[in-house]
Structure 1
Amino acid sequence: MDLHTDNLLGFLGTFGRQDERNVLTLNVLLLGDRQSGRSSVGNALIGGDGFQTGICISGDAVTTKHRLLCRNFQRFFRRQGAESDLTLRVVDTPPMLLPRPHSVHELCPEGVHVLVFVARADLPHDNTRLEEQTLFGPGWRRHALLVVTHADHLEEAGLHPSDYLTQTSDWLRALAEEAGGGVSFVDNSRDWPSIRGRPLRDRLLRLSAENHHRALTVRTEVSL
């Protein structure tokens, strides 16, 4: 598979130094079906519009190749009393059950720190179980965050997010219960990529810290 990689600021290492500040680099993998809002979540995370978004009239996915965008957020947090930068390397994937392991490994040879699953609140979901264990091993749930987009439709329907999770498909309900980073609902009726960018980055950082910033190793021997 062809890979298209955009490095805005380049890879700085998991822990490096930039202008005497610590730098923490996190690899983030976006997963979700077509039109789920996956690329928009990626744009929110990097604080830009580098990932292509929109509605494809033909029904095909807008994202057809794995794509990497990278951005450094200076003085984003404090670690052991020192100011630290946060560098996010965000990989958007074509909509499929599992991404190609060799593609992910080529873009993230150090592994993946956070798996971000994106699902739309206003669309039905296949009642199939995602088998990330095949690609990352049994510990993948501790590194997972579920983002539910178009949550404004729940409010219009008078449905509380917790009630929605009890009524959704089995696999999505199980993922919401098991994901180490929990569930984040975003409202698409507002300019949410700019509004929700910082809260989403904060959640990624907390989740990675809970895992001591250890990355999931990609199992390249998996045949998909």
Structure 2
Amino acid sequence: MTDSSKMTINLALFGMTQSGKSSAGNILLGSTDFHSSFSPSSVTKDCCLGRSCHLCGFMRRGGQEITLQIQVLDTPGYPHSRLKQERVKQEVKEALAHHFGQDGLHLALLVQRADVPLCRQEASSSVQMIQELLGHAWKNYTAILFTHAEKIEEAGFSEDKYLHEASDTLLTLLSSIQRRYIFQYKKGDSLNEQRIKILERIMEFIKENCYQVLTFK
């Protein structure tokens, strides 16, 4: 029998090489499961699933306190500096089916550096892969996670001003996914406080979808 006081949320990270996917995954998990480092080439070559510890009393649902566990699938950068695009797609497709085939995916996070403008060609590659993997409903199950958000503060931008002056490519993408976005900072608040803020935002998106998931065969 399923324990109604416990909930597992399944997330997948997508994005370009050195966008900060693995680092973001570690923040979501509250761990160092994923290898993350600066490199002139793509670091992640294989899909990897990480599981968080249980977060007791994270939220309430139906008047009951819910213990939350997060599962995060880290994926190779796309485009990849060493692997062919078709190999990356196949690797991610198999990982989604293996890890989330029956239980389903709650949300795909497209990881984008806040300090790097999103250009049309780059966006097209990442979005195309998400579309192919998630199918026609991808827009309802995708959000953008802006990493290195502390850089926009250092440049004197607020989040609203940053988005107001963003490229047409980014604004069009945000519009297509119902403006689901999260800013991830690496200073100011502690990493645990940042983690909770990000998870609360993610849960807002999941609630908007009535806790529905995408399944993979």
Q: Which residue of 2 aligns with 1:27?
A: 10
1:104 correspondence with 2:104: no
Residues 105-114 or 189-198, more deviating: 189-198
Q: Which residue is 2:207 aligned to?
A: 209
Task: Name the aligned partner's letter for residue 24 of structure 2.
Answer: V
Which secondary structure does the structure 2 equivalent of 1:16 belong to?
A: coil
Counterpart Cα distance in 1 of 2:99 and 2:65:
28
Structure 1, gaps ≥5 residues long: 1-14
Query: Which is further off, 83-92 or 132-141?
Result: 132-141
CA distance in 1, matches of 2:167, 2:21: 19
| Partner residue, 1:186 | 184
User: What are the within-5 Å matches in structure 2 for residues 1-224 of structure 1?
Assistant: 16-17=2-3, 22-56=5-39, 59-71=40-52, 72-96=54-78, 99=89, 100-110=92-102, 111-128=104-121, 129=124, 130-131=127-128, 132-180=130-178, 182-190=180-188, 193-218=191-216
Q: Cα RMSD (Å) of the superposition?
A: 2.3
CA distance in 2, matches of 1:124, 1:197: 24
Opposite residue 104 of structure 1, the aligned amino acid is L
- Amino acid in the other structure paired with 1:74: C
| Aligned CA distance change for structure 1 residues 181 and 41 (closer, same or farther; 3 Å) | farther
Closer/same/farther in 2, CA of residues 154 and 49 from structure 1, 3 Å limit = same
Further displaced range: 183-192 or 119-128: 183-192
d(CA) in 1 for partners of 2:208 and 2:118?
Answer: 29
Q: 1:193 to 1:181 in 2, by over 3 A?
A: farther
Greater fraction of residues in helix: 2
Once residues 25 and 181 of structure 1 are traced to their aligned partners in structure 2, the CA distance between those partners, rounded to angstroms, is 24
Mapped to 2, the partners of 1:193 and 1:177 lie a distance apart of 29
Q: Distance in 1 between matches of 2:189 and 2:18?
A: 17
Deviation at 1:169, TM superposition (A): 4.2
C-alpha contact 2:27 2:195 (8 A) present in aligned 1: yes
Query: Does the Cα contact within 8 Å between 2:12 and 2:73 map onto a contact in 1?
Result: yes
Q: Structure 1 residues 133 and 105 mapped into 2: Cα distance closer, same or farther (>3 Å)?
A: same
Asked whether the 8 Å contact 2:100–2:215 carries over to 1, the reply is: no
Please give the alpha-carbon distance, in whole angstroms, between the structure 2 residues aligned to 1:77 and 1:126.
37
Judging changes above 3 Å, is the alpha-carbon distance between structure 1 residues 171 and 192 closer, same or farther for their aligned structure 2 residues? Answer: farther
Deviation at 1:89, TM superposition (A): 1.0
Unpaired stretches in structure 2, ≥5 consecutive residues:
80-87
3-state SS of 1:48 partner: coil
Q: Secondary structure at the match of 1:212?
A: coil
Q: Which moved more, 1:102-111 or 1:190-199?
A: 190-199
Distance 1:172 1:181, change over 3 A: closer
- Give the deviation of 1:166 after TM superposition: 4.4
- Identical counterparts, % of pairs: 29
TM score, norm. by length of structure 2: 0.81
Moved more, 36-45 or 186-195: 186-195
